[in-house]
Amino acid sequence: MLTILVTGGASGIGLATVNGLLKGKHSVILVDQYNPDHQPVLEDLFRRYPGQVSHYTCDLQKQASVAELIDHLRMNFTCLDVLINNAGRFPKAEAEFCDDVETTFAVNVMAPYLLSVGLMTLLSKTGRGRIINVSSIGERYARSDWSDIQSVKMPWNANRVYNNSKFYLTLLTYALAERFKGRKITVNCLHPGPTATNLVQSTGGLSWPMRILFGLVKPFRQTPEHAARTSLFLATDPSVDGLTGCYFSKCHRENSSVPSQDPVAQQRILAYCELLRTKSSQRLP
């Protein structure tokens, strides 16, 4: 039985991932932002899988909240087999900030970075720790600008901001894979595929024509259960033992975008995340 942490685990692909892990008799640490609508889901999980689920609330856009979560996990767990950075955010119609960081970047990039580094000791204790980042094929369509990493200086475009954040997450995956090589921790990322969830439509970040289009194609998208297969594969399958710094889709290894394979860019986003963490720690009392 593995101990596996899943962020964003109370809805969508995250919930499907949690259910799959619990059916496999694994112990799950479910992390999600407080939402009263999720309470029935959590109660159902506790009822069906007594003793297998631990639940923590965390506002992933706030570095202080992530740090508090890491402290709680270090106090309550002696090791962690797998970290699945599943939680994602699609931008709203206008830019929003928390701790001076654009919130899409905070949730999609900074939170995975902070959790990966903060839980490194717990993951290394197993001798086979795994970190899995849920990226997106959108990273291929990124239009990144290193002078505007958070994509806030140009006219606001929610789709571009989201794609850029997934591009940076893919870069970060490869950078962390290189950093953790000596610690017996593997780091991989994946594209879950187009999925019938409310991630995009619920934020209001898309124009009305795009929202209508998303609504029309939603019935033809895969279910969250199908989308969760690659996360489940990377979390539990022995065939990926020791495999690190890779991009997966449909449980198969694929190439991510050419720009994401640039080692200089990979180290650049890692350094940027470290800079933001340092600035945040200086603001804390």
Each residue of 191-234: pLDDT tens digit?
998 754 454 445 454 554 544 444 544 554 579 899 999 999 99
Note the pLDDT tens digit of each residue in 110-120.
Answer: 999 999 999 99
Tens digit of pLDDT for each residue in 2-44? 999 999 999 999 999 999 999 999 999 999 999 999 999 999 9
Residue 178 banded pLDDT, cuts 50, 70, 90: very high
In a domain, 285, yes or no: no
Residue 142 within any structural domain of the chain = yes
Read off the pLDDT of each residue in 267-278 and give the average, rounded to a whole number.
96
162: in domain: yes
Overall domain count for the chain = 1
Whether residue 38 lies inside any domain: the answer is yes
Q: Show the domain range for 171.
A: 3-280
Look at residue 215 in the predicted model and tell me its pLDDT. 54
Question: 155 Cβ partners below 8 Å, 6+ apart?
Answer: none
Share of the chain above pLDDT 90, in %: 82
Whether 84 is in a domain gets the answer: yes
CA dihedral in degrees (120, 126, 127, 133; nearest 10)? -50
State the pLDDT at residue 214: 47
pTM, to two decimals = 0.91
Please, what's the b/e burial string for 62-98 (b: 16 or more CB within 10 A of its CB; e: otherwise)?
Answer: bbebbbebbeebeeebeebbbbbbbbbbbbbeeeeeb
CATH number at residue 36: 3.40.50.720
Domain assignment present for 152: yes
Domain assignment present for residue 16? The answer is: yes
